[in-house]
Amino acid sequence: MFSGRDTLMRKLLVSLVAALLLTVTGVPHAQADEGMWTYDNFPSALVQQKYGVKIDQAWLDKVRLATVRLSGCTASFISPDGLILTNHHCSAQCLAEISDAQHDTLRDGFLAQQRGEEKSCPSQLADVLVGMEDISSKIVAAIKGKDDKAANDARKKTLTQLESACEQAAGKKNPLKCQSVQLYQGGQYFLYKYKRYNDVRLVFAPEQAIAAFGGDPDNFQFPRWCLDMSVLRAYEDGKPVKTANFLKVNWQGPAEKEPVFVTGHPGSTDRLLTVAQLKQLRDLDLPTWLLRASELRGRYIQYGKTGAEPLRVISDPLNGLENSIKVRRKQLDALHDDAMLTEKIKQEKQLRDRIAGDTSTAATTGDPWGEIEKALAVERGIAMPYTFIEAGAGFNSQLYRYAKALVRSATERAKPNDERLREFTDGALPLLQRQLTTQVPVYPDREVLTLSFGFERMREWLGPDHPMVRALLKTESPDGLAARLLRDTKLADPAVRRQLWEGGAAAIAASGDPLIKLALQVDPEARALRKRYEDEVEAPVDSASEKIAAWRYTVYGTSVYPDATFTLRLNFGTVQGWNESGTPVPAFTQLATAFERSTGADPFRMPESWLKVKSQLDMTTPFNFSTNNDIVGGNSGSPLINAQGEIVGLMFDGNIHSISGSYWFDTAKNRAVAVHPRIIREALTKVYSASTLSKELGL
Amino acid sequence: MFSGRDTLMRKLLVSLVAALLLTVTGVPHAQADEGMWTYDNFPSALVQQKYGVKIDQAWLDKVRLATVRLSGCTASFISPDGLILTNHHCSAQCLAEISDAQHDTLRDGFLAQQRGEEKSCPSQLADVLVGMEDISSKIVAAIKGKDDKAANDARKKTLTQLESACEQAAGKKNPLKCQSVQLYQGGQYFLYKYKRYNDVRLVFAPEQAIAAFGGDPDNFQFPRWCLDMSVLRAYEDGKPVKTANFLKVNWQGPAEKEPVFVTGHPGSTDRLLTVAQLKQLRDLDLPTWLLRASELRGRYIQYGKTGAEPLRVISDPLNGLENSIKVRRKQLDALHDDAMLTEKIKQEKQLRDRIAGDTSTAATTGDPWGEIEKALAVERGIAMPYTFIEAGAGFNSQLYRYAKALVRSATERAKPNDERLREFTDGALPLLQRQLTTQVPVYPDREVLTLSFGFERMREWLGPDHPMVRALLKTESPDGLAARLLRDTKLADPAVRRQLWEGGAAAIAASGDPLIKLALQVDPEARALRKRYEDEVEAPVDSASEKIAAWRYTVYGTSVYPDATFTLRLNFGTVQGWNESGTPVPAFTQLATAFERSTGADPFRMPESWLKVKSQLDMTTPFNFSTNNDIVGGNSGSPLINAQGEIVGLMFDGNIHSISGSYWFDTAKNRAVAVHPRIIREALTKVYSASTLSKELGL
């Protein structure tokens, strides 16, 4: 429900709200350039009215089919031969995985002068959303009359069945990856159908020094000077994919105030959470995560000082960690902002009052907000054991994660598909198998660092007398245990992992590998915690959230957009700066300032390649720019598109105020940040002499 | 005001409240075993009524004069020859300072078999409170009619003058250290007069492995098994001090439920803060401190893994940091506890309502709570520059702290005494001089670690474009700048520091030392931030707090005790365990369990000295025990005293619930933790064969 340009298509989750469809009176968000709209509910009329731009179905279809989902990022097809444009930081894992002690590709960049040189990215996938199916009514039917726990089980089972049926219906000739999506906190369910590309190769990446110029200090800041770009290519059967739906780059870029659109996959927002849920984030989730992450940051940094190779090995995870720390730190600030919380309290009261005043429906019964508060109290009680034992904080190691996945999948695969944990359904297994059996570098010292850190903090937070802690450590220290396990395991070898994967439960039971044995030892307690979490936290929260979603729909209809869920969205805005405490921040930066800002010391170091050709560069070239599009993490790599459907920018970040976008959209200050097409052209043609690539792009 | 057994002695800060003295009706705290009572307002009548124990003036005087204040800790005289009993962790700095790469005294312990072997503690002092003088009326007179800023300046000036006059009056033959004390958030001012011992030597310390058995994981936990003791001796003119006022140890220890008393110096509590102040701690101070500290912890730990000497060098600061992290983490939890905040809001409303309903006095005018809120908003605006630039987070280095003190003192000493910053008054200079000119170990690598960490986080939190950050780093990296400064400075040499101290402003101006030059460069901005903080935050908060204190006195009189301020307090309670979520926690632990708990891996490793004599030890010896005395950090090393004035325990910690004692006293669960006299006797006589010491103690 809540969806569809055609109201006849709407499937209502809770049928009673259908009668109230016409009572919609509040349109709280529709006037601001706000919203992460699903493609089936884009406010085209508003855009036409506000900006005189007509977004028709053909425009929407073309842009959607040119939009690519990567692991945690977005990208777009930019040539008919499968060329994909995304951020440098979206290819960082690939760059790290194809690096070794002699070749630091993450640091030094990469350019394939011809197609044969394009390098396979071991872990990268590329998905394109080719279909959407509303399955809300099927979920409603499945959970009808059930209590919270039974409803939660039935919901999952039904989603698995529908995904499986979808993939089977697609067949093997034109296979689809079918993933269910929960929108509006359970107000709506869809099947999203993807064309998946498993073979993605690296074409071009600049040096990290220019891709992330300013590093962590400048991250989420603007003005900015980052060439945060990389180019990939999708292959099928060993050949570049033909991609008729690609977007042309408009190399001039946009004008100030020009209407622009971002298509992509915003990862996660919490704008529709209840006040109690926001407080739980503020008081529990964020502070405890930040404490752990800050210490790990310190350990990584200090480890990186012990040599060139440790520095290289730590670079990718450290960048990711520092990015997350900055995000969560500013999220915490946002949750401490009285103005924001006051507004949330007001909105919640408004909705409750509106519903309470409506006597025409049974929707006024029950207290879903109170039910959520009760579930959150349970969550507080089990949060630490759950976090450390099941969610992985205590077993912080790539090889242990392999072990856990192997151990669990052996049990789960033996069950009927719709009775498995959701991450082991038939639909999920091919990717899991690939992840488990692909060769990627494993760094033993880094593994010891992270695993011993996990053990040590598990002992701190659960206490040395917690049964799990005692059973693990016995007479060993966290360091000693981690070092011994990682010295003796063979799981770094993909052949060993493949043998365990293919051998299933028997192979797991027969394995003497210490990490497999550890995962087996931990599994019963970890599963028990998960079950408790799902039954006593997730189930009541989901039930209550569905009820609140129905109430919200009663009042606001489709004028509200769903929270981000790393599924495809489209939004609109214009190119603009903002006013920072009385000082205007202009929308565009220029190349000249990047050179002025370069100190020669990382992370403010223009690379040699740029210094060498400095005299040939146009110093007035626009570098980065800001817009008021409503985006968050996951939109990294998204194309910025003009009314004509051309790419006029490459999104890579937001300003510091954009981080509060997790909870609300601060119209005055929330800005998205993009790489300008002109600096991309300048770089490809003058700095990197990427002639083949430039030619393919029409430069 | 609020003070004195003799009501005639009461000096009222705000005279109007005097008239209301008899309106006292609420005695909110008097019935629980709660309260950090000043010696002039100990509730002896209540103790007599509740426990049948008579605490008379002679008892109070004797205990007070046997109580010793150390740096951040408490101790007591336990022999007529100046022998001092305190915790191991209270001597940790001394133990680290007398250690070197060949002798890890902090780890391995120390025993002087005779007096000549007792080792001087370079940084240790010992103060005994010999007099208290109420100066509230003088402060009232000094600030009368002044606005907040002028009042703040006048308050400080007057305190300096009174301290100075006090020390001059005492003369040189029997010198006194006179320190002013602000009690009840400014409701009361006293001069506390100390006899100071500058020569303190180490007599005995066990191994860290048994002193802090269980390490950080067991810290603030109970049951517990820590021999957290050390023995010092005060010297004067090279000879042991004669201490007639000493406490005898009762080697049997206390019985369960026995009434017991703790004398000592609780460091800091925030029980009388307003709700807005508590929220500021919750939302700003604690989270930002914890983020920085957690990263530093990670850096220390990882550095400690690079070798035996780094591990030794990091041990003392890491222990302190981990202790503070645990404290602040649980403080944050307490502030997130809805029950606590609800109670605080209720109490605040109660006080406001009581005052508002009282029409007999002008006390009802004004809105001090609102004034505090306004000042806190200013604080939020300057908190980060203040924290990094003036408060030291950005310049985290022992040698930089020397440089800053030398630079500032050169300027301040040239001013009249009462116009100086308070830490440079004549009364403060002797200790400062000693700190600056004493030889203590400086570890260059550790200095680079902490200083570069400070620079890096300053750049992160203030931003790379903050003028101070730009001026400091120019084209250098934080690592590079820190390494260069510390490579070139000569401040590790106490002779160089002495020359700069004695040379004053001229020597400072002529110095080419890079840290001196850096401190000179930073000083103007740092002073400006401090002035802004004092004028716009401290001044209005102090004025408003004084008003609230007067109101509180109007309602509650002396039934309230002041917040802890690291000044001498006395409290009462009984030996008892508690009930932890339905499970009773017994009050006493036994030696046998320590051996059972020993895994052989740090920090659960019984030292060799104990394993060797295990068969000779009485395994039923009580080890640690818990009481419901109301103590916090600063009470470490406090003697636990029975009705007869004998020592029956050595306080060293609280249980995990005691940390919420910063904000309130949780009667059901807050417990203090002590070392039992019998384990001390067992250790001295059987494990360490400390025959001379044992003899002096009558063993």
Give DSSP secondary structure letters for A204-222.
EE--HHHHTTTHHHHTT-S
Q: How open is the CA angle A140-A144-A150, to the nearest 5 degrees?
A: 105
Instruction: Pick the residue of A221, A282, A301 with the most B CBs within 10 A to test the interface with B by mutation.
Output: A301
In which band, very low, low, confident or very high, does the pLDDT at B609 lie, cut at 50, 70 and 90? very high
In which band, very low, low, confident or very high, does the pLDDT at A358 lie, cut at 50, 70 and 90? confident
Crossing angle (nearest 10°) for helices A368-385 and A444-462: 120
* Tally of CA atoms within 13 A in the half-sphere of B307 that contains its CB: 7
* Tally of CA atoms within 13 A in the half-sphere of B332 that contains its CB: 22
Task: Kindly state the average pLDDT of the residues B406-423.
Answer: 97
Q: Where are the alpha helices (DSSP H) in A443-590?
A: 444-462, 467-473, 478-488, 494-510, 514-533, 539-556
Evaluate whether B125 touches B197 at the Cβ level (below 8 Å): yes
Closest in B216, B449, B464 to A214, CB measured: B464
Judged against a pLDDT cut of 90, whether residue A365 lies above it is answered with no
Residues of chain A contacting B477 with CB distance shorter than 8 Å: 601-602
Quick: pLDDT tens for A270-308. Answer: 999 999 999 999 999 999 999 999 999 999 999 999 999
Residue B2, pLDDT score: 26
Residue B396, pLDDT score: 97
As given in the structure block, the two tokens for residue A519 are 């995962």
In which band, very low, low, confident or very high, does the pLDDT at B568 lie, cut at 50, 70 and 90? very high
Among chain B residues, CA nearest to A221: B463
Q: Among the listed ranges A598-612, B7-21, B486-500, which one has the minimum average pLDDT value?
A: B7-21
Whether residue A622 has a cis bond before it, omega within 30° of 0: no
Judged against a pLDDT cut of 60, whether residue B3 lies above it is answered with no
Quick: pLDDT tens for A31-87. Answer: 678 999 999 999 999 999 999 999 999 999 999 999 999 999 999 999 999 999 999
Closest in B302, B475, B599 to A601, CB measured: B475
The question of ipTM being above 0.90 is answered as yes
Q: Among the listed ranges B212-226, B415-429, B482-496, B553-567, which one has the minimum average pLDDT value?
A: B553-567
Judged against a pLDDT cut of 70, whether residue B7 lies above it is answered with no
Quick: pLDDT tens for A301-333. Answer: 999 999 999 999 999 999 999 999 999 999 999
Quick: pLDDT tens for B159-208. Answer: 999 999 999 999 988 899 999 999 998 889 999 999 999 999 999 999 99
Cβ–Cβ of B295/A290 closer than 8 Å? no
Residue A156, pLDDT score: 97
Q: Strands, DSSP E only, in B501-643?
A: 569-574, 578-580, 583-585, 588-590, 622-627, 639-641
3-state per-residue secondary structure call for B129-152: EEEEEECHHHHHHHHCCCCHHHHH
H/E run at residue A153:
helix A148-170
String of DSSP letters for B427-479? TTHHHHHHHHHS-----HHHHHHHHHHHHHHHHHHH-TTSHHHHHHHTT--HH
Instruction: Enumerate residues 6+ apart whose C-beta is below 8 A from B495.
Output: none
Judged against a pLDDT cut of 70, whether residue B350 lies above it is answered with yes
Q: Is A366 left (phi over 0), alpha (psi -120 to 50) or beta?
A: left
In which band, very low, low, confident or very high, does the pLDDT at B229 lie, cut at 50, 70 and 90? very high
Q: Is B178 left (phi over 0), alpha (psi -120 to 50) or beta?
A: beta
DSSP summary character for residue A686: I
Identify any residues that bridge with B120 across adjacent strands, giving them in sequence order: B201
State the pTM of this model.
0.93
Average per-residue pLDDT for chain A: 93
Average per-residue pLDDT for chain B: 93
Q: If you search the block for the tokens 């630091």, which residue do you land on?
A: A104
Measured between CA atoms, how close is A383 to chain B, in angstroms? 14
Judged against a pLDDT cut of 90, whether residue B580 lies above it is answered with yes
Residues of chain B contacting A306 with CB distance shorter than 8 Å: 306
Residues of chain B contacting A275 with CB distance shorter than 8 Å: none
What is d(CA A610, CA A342) in angstroms, rounded to the nearest whole number?
49
Q: Strands, DSSP E only, in A541-666?
A: 569-574, 578-580, 583-585, 588-590, 622-627, 639-641, 647-654
What is d(CA B544, CA B275) in angstroms, rounded to the nearest whole number?
14
Q: What letter represents residue A221's amino acid?
A: Q
Whether residue B441 has a cis bond before it, omega within 30° of 0: no
Quick: pLDDT tens for B131-166. Answer: 999 999 999 999 999 999 999 999 999 999 999 999
Residue B653, pLDDT score: 97
Q: What letter represents residue B155's amino acid?
A: R
Q: If you search the block for the tokens 């052996």, which residue do you land on?
A: A410
Residues of chain B contacting A216 with CB distance shorter than 8 Å: 460
What is d(CA B65, CA B243) in angstroms, rounded to the nearest whole number?
9
Identify any residues that bridge with B108 across adjacent strands, giving them in sequence order: none
Quick: pLDDT tens for B294-318. Answer: 999 999 999 999 999 999 999 999 9
Closest in B298, B305, B602 to A295, CB measured: B298
Instruction: Enumerate residues 6+ apart whose C-beta is below 8 A from B380.
Output: B280, B284
Instruction: Enumerate residues 6+ apart whose C-beta is below 8 A from A362.
Output: A16
Q: Which residue has the higher pLDDT, A412 or B357?
A: A412
Q: Among the listed ranges A21-30, A191-200, A579-588, B149-158, which one has the minimum average pLDDT value?
A: A21-30
Quick: pLDDT tens for B84-114. Answer: 999 999 999 999 999 999 999 999 999 999 9
List residues of chain B with CB under 8 Å from any CB of chain A: 214, 216-218, 221, 283-284, 287, 290-292, 294-303, 305-306, 329, 332, 336, 449, 453, 459-460, 463-464, 473-477, 479-480, 599-602, 604
As given in the structure block, the two tokens for residue A30 are 């529709």
Cβ–Cβ of B332/A287 closer than 8 Å? yes
Residue A354, pLDDT score: 86
Kindly compute the dihedral angle of the four CA atoms of residues B602, B606, B612, B617, in this order, to the nearest 10 degrees. 180
Q: Which long-range contacts (CB under 8 A, 24 or more apart) does B331-334 make?
A: B331/B281, B331/B286, B331/B659, B331/B660, B331/B662, B331/B663, B332/A287, B332/B282, B332/B286, B332/B287, B332/B290, B333/B660, B334/B659, B334/B660, B334/B662, B334/B663, B334/B664
List the one residue out of A494, A458, A491 whose CA is nearest residue A477: A458
What is d(CA B602, CA B479) in angstroms, rounded to the nearest whole number?
32
3-state per-residue secondary structure call for B230-241: EEEEEEECCEEC
In which band, very low, low, confident or very high, does the pLDDT at B361 lie, cut at 50, 70 and 90? low
Percent of chain B with pLDDT over 90: 90
Burial A386-409 (b: 16+ CB within 10 A, else e): bbbbbeebbbbbbbbbbbbbbbbb
Q: Which residue has the higher pLDDT, A338 or B669?
A: B669
Evaluate whether A512 touches A490 at the Cβ level (below 8 Å): no
Residue B338, pLDDT score: 81
DSSP summary character for residue B106: H
What is d(CA B421, CA B427) in angstroms, rounded to the nearest whole number?
12
Instruction: Pick the residue of B219, B299, B340 with the most A CBs within 10 A to test the interface with A by mutation.
Output: B299
Judged against a pLDDT cut of 80, whether residue B363 lies above it is answered with no
As given in the structure block, the two tokens for residue A587 are 């929308």
Phi, psi angles (nearest 5°) of residue A121: -95, 110
What is d(CA B55, CA B49) in angstroms, rounded to the nearest whole number?
11
Closest in B297, B449, B599 to A295, CB measured: B297
List the one residue out of B477, B446, B445 whose CA is nearest residue B459: B477
Task: Kindly state the average pLDDT of the residues A186-213.
Answer: 97
List the one residue out of B372, B258, B281, B367 whose CA is nearest residue B327: B281
What is d(CA B64, CA B568) in angstroms, rounded to the nearest whole number?
8
In which band, very low, low, confident or very high, does the pLDDT at B383 lie, cut at 50, 70 and 90? very high
Percent of chain A with pLDDT over 90: 90
List residues of chain A with CB under 8 Å from any CB of chain B: 214, 216-218, 221, 283-284, 287, 290-292, 294-303, 305-306, 329, 332, 336, 449, 453, 459-460, 463-464, 473-477, 479-480, 599-602, 604
Q: How many residues does chain A have?
A: 699
Evaluate whether A92 touches A230 at the Cβ level (below 8 Å): no
H/E run at residue B107:
helix B105-108
Sign of CA pseudo-dihedral B310, B313, B315, B317 = negative
Residue A313, pLDDT score: 97
Q: If you search the block for the tokens 């089980």, which residue do you land on?
A: A153
Quickly count: other Cβ atoms within 10 Å of residue A660's Cβ.
Answer: 20
Evaluate whether A635 touches A265 at the Cβ level (below 8 Å): yes
List the one residue out of A599, A223, A594 whose CA is nearest residue B474: A599
Residues of chain A contacting B298 with CB distance shorter than 8 Å: 294-302, 453
Measured between CA atoms, how close is B298 to chain A, in angstroms? 4
H/E run at residue B412:
helix B398-413
Q: Which long-range contacts (CB under 8 A, 24 or more apart) does A110-116 make?
A: A110/A202, A110/A204, A110/A205, A111/A203, A111/A204, A111/A205, A111/A688, A111/A690, A111/A693, A112/A201, A112/A202, A112/A203, A112/A204, A112/A692, A112/A693, A113/A690, A113/A691, A113/A692, A114/A692, A115/A233, A115/A240, A115/A692
Task: Kindly state the average pLDDT of the residues B613-636.
Answer: 98
Q: Among the listed ranges A469-483, B1-15, B32-46, which one has the minimum average pLDDT value?
A: B1-15
What is d(CA B253, CA B243) in angstroms, rounded to the nearest whole number?
23
